[in-house]
Amino acid sequence: MTGRRVVITGVEVLAPGGMGTKAFWELLADGRTATRGITLFDPTPFRSRVAAEIDFVPEEHGLSPQEARRMDRAAQFAVVAARGAVADSGIDIEEFNLCRVGVTIGSAVGATMGLDEEYRVVSDGGRLHLVDHAYAVPHLYNHLVPSSFAAEVALTVGAQGPTGVVSTGCTSGIDSVGYAAELIREGSADVMVAGSSDAPISPITMACFDAIKATTPRHDDPQSASRPFDGTRNGFVLGEGAAVFVLEEHDRAVRRGAHIYAEIAGYATRSNAYHMTGLRPDGLEMAEAIRVALHEARMNVDEIDYINAHGSGTKQNDRHETAAFKHSLGDHAYRTPVSSIKSMVGHSLGAIGSIEIAASILAMKHDVVPPTANLRTPDPECDLDYVPLHARDQATDAVLTVGSGFGGFQSAMVLARPDRRIA
Amino acid sequence: MSAAVVVTGLGVVAPNGLGTRAYWAATRAGRSGIGRITRFDPDQYPARLAGEVSGFVAEAHLPSRLLPQTDRMTQLALVAADWALEDAGIRPQDLPAFDMGVITASFSGGFEFGQGELANLWGKGSEYVSAYQSFAWFYAVNSGQISIRNGMKGPSGVVVADQAGGLDAVAQARRQIRKGTAMIVSGAIDATICPWGWVALHTSGRLSTREEPSLAYRPFDEGACGHVPGEGGTLLILESARAAADRGARVYGEIAGHGATFDPRPDSGREPALRAAIELALADAGVDASEVDVVFADAAGEPHLDRVEAQALVAVFGPFGVPVTAPKTMTGRLYSGAAPLDLAAAFLAMEEGLIPPTINVDPVADYELDLVVAAPRPAELRTALVVARGHGGFNSAMVVRSDPNAATRPAVNQ
Amino acid sequence: MAEQLTLTDLMQILREVAGADEGVDLNADVLDTSFQDLGYDSLALLEAGSRIEREYAVRLDDSTMTDATTPRALLDVINASLTPA
């Protein structure tokens, strides 16, 4: 089974600023931002009151009233994105051995929104320690265990192969797709519907990020609140969304005449073994993940045309990551455009890694590198080319995308045009 | 054929025994850890029995700096990881950091910690929410904390597949070892026994409301009426067979094969996919059904699910074709921790040559299962199958065998 | 007038919200020992800061708890904001 290559043949993105892959790409290419004052709940008591929200009406996206009721918002995103990705790929799942069609969905915080809401009810506004089961909704169990997201996707697309949720904090979105690619490569699956989803804009999430001062308190100017690599940045902006892909074994995708967006050429994840929320300034573990991903892709560092950064907009991250690129790519780091789309769509925790994979493959499709919005006052310690403000036309055949998450996870994925020269 | 991956260490925390030795002593003797809930007053709830881990004092094992920032399940997991490493004779500080990884399964995260912080948020105000909430309740916390405590920088991960995820995590660990990592801590530990978790579990509709511990969780019995939740699980040390041999490690056995599937819609008229998962695991291991000496069943305790499992086992092994057991009748269902605990039980059973019993069960005759009930059964055991299923349609199956050198035949191609 | 925060108060709060490193004697004179040497990371300090804000009814800047490297430096900043202008 060695030598099996994995390609992306379908994609759907639900991101703030416009639904669907097309609207998502237009936002990025225009360098527009989708961050704003929070509307999903009253943010008045909170330190940070800015987020990147999706204007999402489940019924407008084909969800039945029953589906909308039993699924947390993040599960709804996942299902809508999965249906879109399958449609985009033109694949007929029924033509496959269904036990070789699987699903992986990444999510950092699962049904946090649903849990927050239902806890208020069963605890009578936080008063009862012995919460009251008589007020529990029947689908509370599905909020308890986020694998329900993957189950909903498997049911909706008809998959009967390996199915699960990957939950590695803010690298979930890369790790979910990387895990799916490994299953195809080793021969355990032929098709994987893989991606990630999170809808964390709820009081409990805002409160815990307030407590560690990780999110920006910039309320006066929400549209430019997310400022990765900028000297005036002061925390990330929480986002929400989903991106789901159809992954197929390369030869079979070619035989069926599928449109191939990109090959998942290499992937690796490593841990910093340092701190649940902190990063070592040297970025060595992320650098190791990048090195291994490039090795798996059998590519040299100078073949990377664009780096899609984690770029969360915390000082700690931006410097950590800059160091990691220099360690892993050497001089090529200075010659390679690096950008963070979190400047535009916020940080949707477990979802963003997949959304960034989508941005990466769309950059290849359009030969355009998306910008880092709001980057007007460069941090002198971040001295790479971060593509400030405006997208850039550039031939793009291979992209490195990275993520960094609570728990110490550092992940890297190399995406490339499948018809590039194989070493 | 890929290199063999073996288990060299076990860290067990179970309701009927804290530590591998205590767990096995209780399990081989059919001693249950199920009783009335003590962690909160369960009077007002329809279900009042649980398999609680008793006698665990976190302060005795962990530095006080870790205690305020960890949920009970993480405290149990950190200690189980310590025990597993010690059992394997591994000192993490002696190994290259990138050669060690942590891949666990999760279920509900640190749910008790989460209840406390939700109570702070809604009962007192957002400024009362702990800084530790940002990670103490999320699903990745056990992998993260274990990697930090032990300096493990290799491939790490977290999978969630309800109660099947424990096997999927071990399979993912095996995958990473085959790709070159020397050692991975894998498995799962769960603990959801708090009022908020209890109410959420209750909505599954699958909790037994019987009051008598001996009648509450009886899979494959006429009186099957749901299950009793438990807490705990097992962390295992996985290594390549070569690495284990090079350092002269004691080997429990090999992770020989894995298969995972998802059920079709119940209204589809299609066969449930459990049988396919078992067949995939056997094929992956290169093992014929006739070579399997014992099955550790999922044992849902719901009549329709018990029937599905019995039918799958009969389809693969024939009527009464293989001894089947469910030691989880002594612990309750540990959610993602259940299958890793069954892996431990399988290795210990193979080591002693003794199948632990399924307690409190008189099997329905037409399931045609050779269920090992009442007393343990001596047997020569070289190959075991562990089955795990999760709510919603998850199926996972894993083949383990006692002697990794038996892995000489080529894998059956799918 | 708001009461001042003492070293004993601060150490007690840290012990309660973040535990105590086994190798460190928090009862010794640690006024000028770095928080790092005392075994406290930024999360422990943020957790302590949140407790201090609630119990002393004071509002601290985002960076107060993480910029100060020793108990003395931290107490100086906090007590300055506790002293009525």
Give the model confidence (pLDDT) of B162-210 as tens digits.
999 999 999 999 999 999 999 999 999 999 999 999 999 999 999 999 9
Contact check, Cβ <8 Å, A151/B122: no
Q: Of the candidates B63, B67, B132, which has its C-beta nearest C43's C-beta?
A: B132
CB pairs under 8 A between B and C: 35
B neighbour chains, 3+ CB pairs within 8 Å: A, C
Partner A contacted by C54 (CB < 8 A): no
pLDDT at B410 over 50: no
Domain boundaries, chain A: 6-111+146-416
Q: Are strands A262-271 and A6-15 parallel, antiparallel or unpaired?
A: antiparallel
Name residues whose C-beta falls within 8 Å of residue B304's C-beta, 6 or more positions apart in sequence.
Answer: none
**What are the tens digits of pLDDT across the range A109-141?**
999 999 999 999 999 999 999 999 999 999 999
Residue A3: what pLDDT?
A: 80
- Enumerate domains of chain B plus CATH numbers: 5-246 (3.40.47.10), 257-403 (3.40.47.10)
Helix (H) / strand (E) containing A208: helix A203-211
Residue B367: what pLDDT?
A: 98
Residues of A recognised as catalytic? 170, 310, 347
Residue A167: what pLDDT?
A: 98
What's the rounded Cα separation, in Å, for the pair B262 and A101? Answer: 10
What's the rounded Cα separation, in Å, for the pair A398 and A391? Answer: 17
Average pLDDT, chain A: 96
**What are the tens digits of pLDDT across the range A188-221?**
999 999 999 999 999 999 999 999 999 999 999 9
Average pLDDT, chain C: 91
Residue B412: what pLDDT?
A: 36
What's the rounded Cα separation, in Å, for the pair A73 and B311? Answer: 37
Residue B374: what pLDDT?
A: 83
What's the rounded Cα separation, in Å, for the pair A308 and B193? Answer: 42
Contact check, Cβ <8 Å, C62/A217: yes
What's the rounded Cα separation, in Å, for the pair B16 and B53? Answer: 7
Structure tokens given for A247 = 């992954």
The angle, 0 to 180 degrees and rounded to 10, between the axes of the packed helices B338-352 and B165-178 is 70
**Separation of first and last alpha carbons in chain C:** 10
Query: CA of A220, closest CA in chain B: separation in Å?
Result: 21
Please compute the mean of the pLDDT values over residues B360-365 and round it to a whole number.
97
Residue B414: what pLDDT?
A: 31
pLDDT at C1 over 60: no
Average pLDDT, chain B: 96
Structure tokens given for A153 = 């996707």
Nearest CA in chain A to B42: A130
Residue B404: what pLDDT?
A: 57
Structure tokens given for A7 = 């390609």
Closest CA to B48 of B236, B211, B265: B211
Partner C contacted by A134 (CB < 8 A): no
Q: Of the candidates B65, B128, B132, which has its C-beta nearest C39's C-beta?
A: B65
Residue A419: what pLDDT?
A: 80
Residue C26: what pLDDT?
A: 82
CA distances from B16 to B50, B187, B232, B355 (A): 11, 18, 10, 17
Please compute the mean of the pLDDT values over residues A13-37 and round it to a whole number.
97
Please compute the mean of the pLDDT values over residues A158-164 and round it to a whole number.
98
Lowest mean pLDDT among A312-316, A353-357, B105-109: A312-316
pLDDT at B411 over 50: no
**What are the tens digits of pLDDT across the range B293-339?**
999 999 999 999 999 999 999 999 999 999 999 999 999 999 999 99
Residue B2: what pLDDT?
A: 63
Instruction: Give residue for tokens 């265990």.
Output: A145
> What fold, for A6-111+146-416?
Peroxisomal Thiolase; Chain A, domain 1 (3.40.47)
Name residues whose C-beta falls within 8 Å of residue A47's C-beta, 6 or more positions apart in sequence.
Answer: A210, A213, A215, A217
Contacting B residues, span 127-156, partner chain C, CB-CB under 8 Å: 127-128, 130-132
Among B139, B207, B209, the strongest candidate for a mutation testing the A interface, having the largest count of A CBs within 10 A, is B139
**What are the tens digits of pLDDT across the range C4-35?**
999 999 999 999 999 999 888 888 889 999 99
Q: Of the candidates A213, A276, A278, which has its C-beta nearest C62's C-beta?
A: A213
Helix (H) / strand (E) containing A142: helix A140-144
Please compute the mean of the pLDDT values over residues B55-70 and round it to a whole number.
96
Contact check, Cβ <8 Å, C21/B65: yes
Residue A418: what pLDDT?
A: 87
Partner A contacted by B74 (CB < 8 A): no
**What are the tens digits of pLDDT across the range A74-95?**
999 999 999 999 999 999 999 9
Please compute the mean of the pLDDT values over residues B285-289 and round it to a whole number.
97
Residue B226: what pLDDT?
A: 98
Tell me the chain B residues in contact with residue A138 when contact means C-beta distances shorter than 8 Å. 203, 205
Contacting C residues, span 3-32, partner chain A, CB-CB under 8 Å: none
- With bands split at pLDDT 50, 70 and 90, how would you rate the model's confidence at B359? very high
Tell me the chain C residues in contact with residue B132 when contact means C-beta distances shorter than 8 Å. 43, 47
Q: What is the ipTM of this complex?
A: 0.97
Closest CA to B240 of B74, B404, B389: B404
**What are the tens digits of pLDDT across the range A239-285?**
999 999 999 999 999 999 999 999 999 999 999 999 999 999 999 99
**What are the tens digits of pLDDT across the range C58-79?**
999 989 998 999 999 999 999 9
Contact check, Cβ <8 Å, C19/B68: yes
What's the rounded Cα separation, in Å, for the pair B58 and B333? Answer: 22
- With bands split at pLDDT 50, 70 and 90, how would you rate the model's confidence at B1? very low
Query: CA of A391, closest CA in chain B: separation in Å?
Result: 34
pLDDT at B244 over 90: yes
What's the rounded Cα separation, in Å, for the pair A18 and B126? Answer: 31
What's the rounded Cα separation, in Å, for the pair C48 and C45? Answer: 5
Partner C contacted by B375 (CB < 8 A): no
Residue C27: what pLDDT?
A: 83
> What fold, for C7-19+29-82?
1.10.1200
**Tally of CA atoms within 13 A in the half-sphere of A78 that contains its CB:** 38
Please compute the mean of the pLDDT values over residues A160-187 and round it to a whole number.
98
